[in-house]
Amino acid sequence: MKALNPFHILHGGALVLFTIFAIFPIVWTISVAFSADSSTMWLFPRAFWPNQLSLDWFGRVWQEIPIARYFINSLGISISTTIIVILLAIPCGYAFAMHDFRGKNALLALLVITLMVPSEVAFIPNFLTINRLGLLDSYTSAILPNIASAFGVLMMKQAFQDLPRETLDAARVDGASEMQLLWRIALPQTMPMVATLTVFSFVLAWNDYFWPSVVLKSREKMPLAVGMFNDLTGPFATSTSMVLAAVTIALVPILILFVATQRHFLSDGMQDSTT
- pLDDT tens track for 87-129: 999 999 999 999 888 999 999 999 999 988 888 888 999 999 9
Query: What percent of the chain has pLDDT above 90?
Result: 49
Position 269 confidence tier, pLDDT thresholds 50, 70, 90: very low
Every domain of the chain and the residues it spans: 1-54, 55-274
What is the residue-averaged pLDDT of the chain?
86
Position 153 confidence tier, pLDDT thresholds 50, 70, 90: very high
Res 40: pLDDT: 61
In the predicted structure, residue 158 carries a pLDDT above the cut 80: yes
Q: What is the mean pLDDT of residues 178-191?
A: 90
Torsion of CA 105, 126, 115, 151, to 10 degrees: -80
Query: What percent of the chain has pLDDT above 70?
Result: 88
Q: What is the mean pLDDT of residues 240-244?
A: 85
CA angle (103 as vertex; 101, 108 as ends), nearest 5: 100
Alpha helices in the chain (DSSP H): 6-33, 56-64, 67-98, 104-116, 123-132, 139-143, 150-161, 165-173, 178-180, 187-189, 191-207, 210-215, 224-232, 240-274
In the predicted structure, residue 145 carries a pLDDT above the cut 60: yes
Beta-bridged to residue 123, according to DSSP, are none
Q: What is the mean pLDDT of residues 257-265?
A: 81
In the predicted structure, residue 212 carries a pLDDT above the cut 50: yes
Res 68: pLDDT: 93
C-alpha to C-alpha distance for 119 and 131, rounded to whole angstroms: 18
| Range with the poorest average pLDDT among 34-43, 50-59, 70-79, 140-149 | 34-43
C-alpha to C-alpha distance for 48 and 29, rounded to whole angstroms: 9
Contacts of 173 (CB under 8 A, 6+ apart): none
Other C-beta atoms lying within 10 Å of the C-beta of residue 150: 17
CATH number, span 55-274: 1.10.3720.10
Res 273: pLDDT: 43
Q: What is the mean pLDDT of residues 225-229?
A: 92
Q: What is the mean pLDDT of residues 29-42?
A: 76
Res 274: pLDDT: 46
In the predicted structure, residue 270 carries a pLDDT above the cut 70: no
Res 24: pLDDT: 86
Other C-beta atoms lying within 10 Å of the C-beta of residue 183: 14
